[in-house]
Amino acid sequence: DAGVIQSPRHEVTEMGQEVTLRCKPISGHDYLFWYRQTMMRGLELLIYFNNNVPIDDSGMPEDRFSAKMPNASFSTLKIQPSEPRDSAVYFCASTTRRTGEGSYNEQFFGPGTRLTVL
């Protein structure tokens, strides 16, 4: 498997523009997470899905942010309109629940999208 795939790797946009970040999870994984990483706030969980259904979006900063998962192999995180304070690295991660002994959880992270909003 190629791992979690994110696109684009880098995005530079101007304030007010719409930004769409994309993620393809590892095949067979039924959990998908979106994180944001900044120097000031570290790694923040924005939202996560289970079987394509959003389970917890309490980390989404405000209504300008929205996330969808139309099928098991694709998710988007959209920011509209974007603001300079949205500049960060956005990570997508996926996992599946293990069962039985040694059922630790491992989240597999994509390489991230570095977003710069001017």
Rule CB under 8 A: is residue 42 a binding residue for other proteins?
yes
CB of 24 to other proteins, least distance (A): 14
Which CB, 59 or 81, lies closer to other proteins?
Answer: 59
> Whole-angstrom Cα distance, residue 47 to residue 13?
23
Angle at 106 (CA atoms; ends 101, 111), nearest 5 degrees = 165
Which residues, in sequence order, are CB contacts of 35 under 8 Å at separation 6+?
Answer: 43, 44, 45, 46, 90, 91, 92, 93
> Whole-angstrom Cα distance, residue 49 to residue 13?
27
**Residue of the chain from 88, 112, 115, 117 that contacts other proteins (CB under 8 A):** 112
Rule CB under 8 A: is residue 91 a binding residue for other proteins?
yes
Rule CB under 8 A: is residue 25 a binding residue for other proteins?
no
Binding site for other proteins (CB under 8 A): 4, 31, 33, 42-43, 45, 48, 50, 55-56, 91, 93, 97, 104-107, 109-112
